[in-house]
Structure 1
Amino acid sequence: MSRFLEDQILIYLGNKLQNYNLDYEILKDLAAKSEGNPLYIHYIIKFVVTNSEENKLNALKDLPDFGGEIENYYRSIWESIRGESKYVKIISILARIRGTISKSILIKMLDEDTQLVFDEVFNNLKHLLIQKMKLEFIIIHLRILSLV
């Protein structure tokens, strides 16, 4: 997979994220973190689009550098959530299913405490999910499943 030049990334991120009021320094930092990898750039954009405003700026600063391998990104995500039982419960179910599932069925499979925080957790995991049919079906990216 060929990599993009930093100028190309800045233009692309600027166009894709123009509605999110990110200043140039943040875009420049994101471009540097991506090291030009198109898949990582895709995850960055999806992360910005799916996260709430109050979490976004701090979380963007904490995004790991690409580091030459996309697995580094998946590992850093797993390391940041594996101690949070509410995240692990949802990801564990998705890992076992290894296919699509409706959001309503997934919620019914969770214990009551996790059901109560489902929307918050789901919103924080959205950038890892492939959504089909207007959020009705979800599947988690298979690479992160290998870490579960």
Structure 2
Amino acid sequence: MRREAPTQDSEVPVLSGAALFVRKTAFDQVGGFDDNIFLYHEDDDITLRLRQQVGAAWFISEAQVMHQGGHSSGRSAAVAALKAWHMGRSLVYTTTKHRIRSAYRRAIWSALKQLLSPATIMSKRKFYKNRAFLQGVLSAHDDQGSGHQPCPYAIIQP
């Protein structure tokens, strides 16, 4: 789901999991993170459940988070495809779970637009990434997102 950071303290529809502060009682009340969501959109899901069961979500403009350590997972076509497959699958699962209108149709449209864009045609990495995103979307629809599924090895092989 798209996010733009507000410029002042304000109520927001979803929060970024990169810096998400939640009272433990509220976290427990909504059942914590959904085990069916892997890698992407878990922050959207928990924010939507918190808003529904606990109350508003707020962006605090003065809050700061410093990231210390860590490393990138790389930019290979295989890594991009693996991440994109999970992104597509998690997108359909989360939006369907929260009854967002036309969720699957929107995901298919987005995937096809990305796959058929000139930038994708010119880049092997983007082609594998966008093809895997479409395959993740289709995968979630095929089994109605009935749980976390490992990414098929064939998808990440360029």
Question: Which has the larger helix fraction?
Answer: 1
Q: Which gives a bigger RCO, structure 1 or 2 (Cα 8 Å, sep 6+)?
A: 2
Of the two, which has the highest radius of gyration? 2
